[in-house]
Amino acid sequence: MPGKKKIELPATGIDAEASLLDVVDNVLNKGMVLNGDLVLGVANVDLIYVRLSVLLAALDKIGKDEIFRPVKAVKKKTSRR
Amino acid sequence: VLRIDRDLWAVVADAPLERFSPESLETELRDVEAVSRHALAHAAIVEFFFRRAPVIPLQLFTLFSGDDRVREHVARRRRWLRKLFQRLRGVEEWGVRITLNPEGERAGPRAPSGRNYLLAKKRLLDSENVPDRHVLRKANAALKKLGGLATNVRKEAFPPPGRNRPYVAGASFLVPLKKRTRWKKEVARLAAGLRKDGHRLDVSGPWPPYHFSSAGS
Q: Do A37 and B64 touch (CB under 8 A)?
A: yes
Q: What is the C-alpha separation between B214 and B217, in angstroms, rounded? A: 6
What ipTM, to 2 d.p.? Answer: 0.71
**For A62, how many CA atoms within 13 A lie in the half-sphere containing its CB?**
9
What's residue B142's pLDDT? Answer: 94
Secondary structure of residue B96 in the 3-state scheme:
strand
B95 touches chain A (CB under 8 A): yes
Q: What is the C-alpha separation between B51 and A4, in angstroms, rounded? A: 8
Is the full-model pTM beyond 0.80? no
Question: Cα separations (Å) of A70 from A66, B20, B57, B115?
Answer: 9, 37, 26, 34
Q: Do A24 and B213 touch (CB under 8 A)?
A: no
What's residue B141's pLDDT? Answer: 93
pLDDT in tens, B150-176: 999 999 888 777 777 788 889 999 999
pLDDT in tens, A10-56: 333 333 345 777 787 788 778 787 766 665 344 445 555 555 666 66
Mean pLDDT of the B122-149 span: 80
What's residue A28's pLDDT? Answer: 77
Q: What is the C-alpha separation between A70 and A1, in angstroms, rounded? A: 23
B98 touches chain A (CB under 8 A): no
* pLDDT exceeds 90 at position B117: no
Spatial contact of B200 and B194, defined as CB atoms under 8 Å apart: yes
Chain A: nearest CA to B123, how far in angstroms?
Answer: 22
* Closest residue on chain A to B75 (Cα): A34
pLDDT in tens, B3-15: 888 888 999 998 8
CB atoms under 10 Å from CB of A78, counted, come to 12
Chain B: nearest CA to A80, how far in angstroms?
Answer: 14
Spatial contact of B176 and B126, defined as CB atoms under 8 Å apart: no
Higher pLDDT, B66 or B212: B212
CB atoms under 10 Å from CB of B87, counted, come to 16
pLDDT in tens, B32-42: 777 778 888 89
* pLDDT exceeds 50 at position B106: no
A21 touches chain B (CB under 8 A): no
Window 26-55 of A, Cβ < 8 Å to B? 26-39, 41-45, 48, 51-52, 55
